[in-house]
Amino acid sequence: MRIEFTVSAAADNKRIFGALRNAVLKSGLAFEPAKVNKNWPRLAYGPVLGYGLESLGEFADIYLLQAVSPQEVHQALSRAAGPLIAIKRVERVPYALPSVANLAQAARYIIEGDFSPWAPKQSLTDFLNGRQATAVLTAPNAAMTQEMPLSPYVVKCEQPEENKYFLTLQTVNDKTLKPQYALAAWLGMPIVQGEEFTIPGVRFIREGLFWRDSQGGLHRI
């Protein structure tokens, strides 16, 4: 079963995974045991959020031993879930289908904030549509820099209103682009590589994930 859920408070991925595992354990559902510990359910959680990102929906796959309806799973997990997570959606997927962590090939982000302090000369959309859009990444020890072209990762950038963007980024050769890097390059901010790089006063919200078909089309998970 594929589970979509929300997280009620800021938490690291380890806590989120633990809360989800405990919900399955308390739900009464007959689960397939994990390989690392047969007392735990087999779960596939992800793709996990990076530092400084929020989400409108997290995903996990759980593997059950008995045929039950998505509605029954939704009810059982909702009753058992603690205060950290809330079950949003449950759907049955083929057993052999890749987990969401392996299936997701693109993500859509909502970026909100007041960008006027940086006085950008053009919109984020125009910047990313330019051929020379590049992020310059500096190593934490400042010993070296790396130029990262942005256009291969950008699927679409929209500006529905002032100080708000929808940015869809795709995976390229198993590599991803942090939305913070794209925004920092646009604003002319120095980018220090590392998990904890973010931009004060700006929200980055992962709105959705997408899988890619054999013809290159993207479809929402």
* Judgement on whether residues 97 and 113 belong to the same structural domain of the protein: no
Q: In degrees, to the nearest 5, what angle opens at C-alpha 74 toward C-alphas 73 and 75?
A: 90
pLDDT at 131 over 80: no
Helix axes 70-80, 13-27, angle to 10 degrees: 110
Query: Which residues, other chains included, contact 135 with Cβ-Cβ below 8 Å and sequence gap of 6+?
Result: 147, 148, 150, 177, 181, 182, 184, 185, 191
CATH at residue 20 = 3.30.70
| pLDDT tens per residue across span 139-188 | 877 767 889 999 999 999 999 999 999 999 999 999 999 999 999 999 99
| pLDDT tens per residue across span 168-180 | 999 999 999 999 9
* Judgement on whether residues 158 and 134 belong to the same structural domain of the protein: yes
pLDDT exceeding 70 applies to what percent of the chain? 98
Query: What is residue 158's predicted lDDT score, i.e. its pLDDT?
Result: 96
Q: How many domains does the chain have?
A: 2
Domain enclosing residue 22, as ranges? 2-102
Query: What is residue 196's predicted lDDT score, i.e. its pLDDT?
Result: 77
- Overall average pLDDT of the 92-118 stretch: 92
* Judgement on whether residues 90 and 131 belong to the same structural domain of the protein: no
* Judgement on whether residues 94 and 135 belong to the same structural domain of the protein: no
* Judgement on whether residues 96 and 117 belong to the same structural domain of the protein: no
* Judgement on whether residues 77 and 126 belong to the same structural domain of the protein: no
* Judgement on whether residues 69 and 14 belong to the same structural domain of the protein: yes
The structure tokens listed for 172 are 């390229």
User: Alpha-carbon distance 15 to 22, whole Å?
Assistant: 10
pLDDT at 194 over 80: no
pLDDT at 191 over 70: yes
Domain end among 63, 82, 102: 102
* Judgement on whether residues 216 and 108 belong to the same structural domain of the protein: yes
Domain end among 49, 81, 102: 102
* Judgement on whether residues 93 and 183 belong to the same structural domain of the protein: no
- Overall average pLDDT of the 116-137 stretch: 90
* Judgement on whether residues 152 and 90 belong to the same structural domain of the protein: no
Dihedral (Cα; 220, 27, 42, 48), 10-degree rounding? 40
Average pLDDT, the chain: 91
Query: What is residue 139's predicted lDDT score, i.e. its pLDDT?
Result: 81
The full DSSP string for 134-148 is: EEEEE-TTSS-EEEE
* Judgement on whether residues 24 and 131 belong to the same structural domain of the protein: no
| pLDDT tens per residue across span 22-76 | 999 999 999 999 999 999 999 998 888 888 889 999 999 999 999 999 999 999 9
Domain end among 102, 119, 154: 102
User: Alpha-carbon distance 32 to 29, whole Å?
Assistant: 10
Query: What is residue 51's predicted lDDT score, i.e. its pLDDT?
Result: 82
* Judgement on whether residues 34 and 86 belong to the same structural domain of the protein: yes
